Structures are given as structure tokens and as C-alpha cells.
Amino acid sequence: MSRAPEQPRQVPAGGPTFRHAPRGGRTAIVVLSVLGLGVAAMLVLLALGRGVEPQPTVLRVAFGLVGVVVALGALSLLRTLRHAGRSGFDVGPSGIEIRAGSITEQVAWSEVAAVRFRVYLDRAVTPVDLVDRQSYPRLELAFHDSDASEAAHPLLRRLRSAGTTAEGYTHGLDVGIGPFFPRDGVERHLPELQQVLWAVAGPAYQGASVEKRWFGSRRR
């Protein structure tokens, strides 16, 4: 259940105090690129007649064309590697810095009417018990003027959250996903982020809460 902040805590000056960057992005790009280049090499070898059995000329040309396309796609994917680690967001005294590839937007606290930390827990029925399977921690935002904020920060348009609009929270930032987050006690979910929000968001911070829902239901 949301609660009003009591007393802001002191945080060190000189930069963001909490950073979230999705893990595994670079690894996935490298793995997919290597697989793509491997497939492309195999197709080119078939086009050159290096296969176990000779192939008709038309088929060899097709292998060659597909191999070139796959190789170009893998190389293009590798080019995105330099931006792969620049996704996520920072929470600090000046506001929230949102990153998506080469795009960075700085949202000031003066634009934010309310912010809360909400953890959604997926529930499912097993032969043994009713269990919480996965958690989806989110930072949810309400703006004084969401249209004006989106005009100033176009990246916010990607973060629209239709499921919580009725509650006043029009945008959401995912803070990870997985079955290994703590099940019980919202204070155990990313406590460092909660502490920073208490310290820097002032009266805009509406606290943290947990919401349980059925597994497979529409994400908010």
C-alpha cells in the first residue's frame, strides 16, 4: 500500500545514486551475431560447391544470396554493440535520466507530480500450492503535464503505461524481471532504489507496494 514520505534522507552529492542497466544485452548481441556469421559462412561454402554433394547452379546462387544477407544482418547487429550498454535509467538528485541506445533524456523532478515503486507478482496454481512465480519491479510516474513532458522528452512516449493511467501513473520504467526476486516484503525488493527515491524525490515519492496477480495476465 502506498504511503506518504516522512523525512527525506541525505544522499551524497555529485551524480546519480542509483543506476539500472539491463543485463545480458551485449552477450545476446554477440551470441546472435556469431551464430549469424556462422550460418552465413556455411551458406557461402554451399554456394561455392564445398558441400557434401554438388548442388544445382540455381540453388548455389540462392545459397550465396541468402548467405550475404545473413552476413550483412549479423554485421549490422554487431554495430549496435556500442549502444547496447547504454539502456536503462539513473535516479539522482536532479531527476531521472532515461537512456535508450544513443538517446538520453533528463526528466527533472519538477516535472514529476508523483512517483512510486510497485512490484507486480505473478501467481500460479501448481499441483502442490499457490505460488508466486515471477516479479516485475517497476518505477511508475505521474507528470504535472504528461503531454508537455512527452513533447520535451520524446523517449517518454515509449514508456506509456495504459494499465495504471486510471490511478494517475501514465508512464512506467521496468527495473528487471525474474523468478529470483524476493517474494515477500516490499522492503526486500531493490532497497537501494527505494532509499534513493526517499532521499531525492521529496513529497513526490508515494512509497512502495506489492500487487499480486494471476500468471499470464496482461502486464501493466
Per-residue pLDDT of the chain (220 residues; tens, 9 = 90+): 334 433 333 444 454 478 887 665 566 667 777 788 888 888 888 778 776 666 777 888 888 888 888 888 877 766 665 655 567 889 999 999 998 877 889 999 999 999 999 988 776 555 454 455 667 888 999 999 999 999 999 999 988 987 788 888 999 998 876 555 555 677 777 888 999 999 999 899 999 988 876 554 445 5
Q: Is the pTM of this model over 0.75?
A: no
pLDDT score of 9: 39
What distance in Å separates the CA atoms of residue 184 and residue 82, rounded to the nearest whole number?
Answer: 38
> Which three cell numbers mark 34?
556469431
pLDDT at 106: 92
Q: Which residues of 191-214 are buried (b: 16+ CB within 10 A; e: fewer)?
A: eebbebbbbbbeebbbbbebeeee
pLDDT value, residue 27: 65
Find all residues with CB under 8 Å of 190, minimum gap 6, and list them.
Answer: 117, 137, 175, 176
Question: Which pLDDT does position 127 carry in this prediction?
Answer: 46
Residue 129, judged by CB atoms within 10 A of its CB (0-12, 13-18, 19+), counts as exposed
Tell me what pLDDT residue 115 has. 95
pLDDT value of position 183:
58
pLDDT given at position 156: 92
Q: Longest C-alpha distance within the chain, in Å? A: 77
